[in-house]
Amino acid sequence: MSIKVRYFASLKESLGRKEDVKAYTGDISIRELWLICVPEMPLTDNILAAINMEYADPDAIVNDGDEVAFFPPITGGRT
């Protein structure tokens, strides 16, 4: 299975890369994928994840060919 993993905003800056491509066999959750790709940093509650551009729970299962994105919460807007 091949999974494209993308990092956005401050995550991209702190990791020093914008993406990884990981080969994996069997079922893998977003949380497990994070641990493989970013073992030096815990997956905290404020890091959001998406599978194929749709928000997903950290325990959601990733499928072959999926794109998983990680990014910090987006803030802003009008008050």
Q: Which residue has the higher pLDDT, 74 or 8?
A: 8
* Residue 72: predicted pLDDT: 87
* Residue 24: predicted pLDDT: 86
How many helices (H) and strands (E) would you count in the chain? 2, 7
Structural domain boundaries in the chain: 2-71
pTM for the whole thing?
A: 0.88
The string of pLDDT tens digits covering residues 19-74 is 999 998 889 999 999 999 999 999 999 999 999 999 999 999 999 999 999 998 77
Level-2 CATH architecture, domain 2-71: Roll (3.10)
What is the 3-state secondary structure of 36-63? HHCCCCCCCCCCEEEECCEECCCCCEEC
Cβ atoms of residues 29 and 1 within 8 Å: no
Cβ atoms of residues 75 and 13 within 8 Å: no
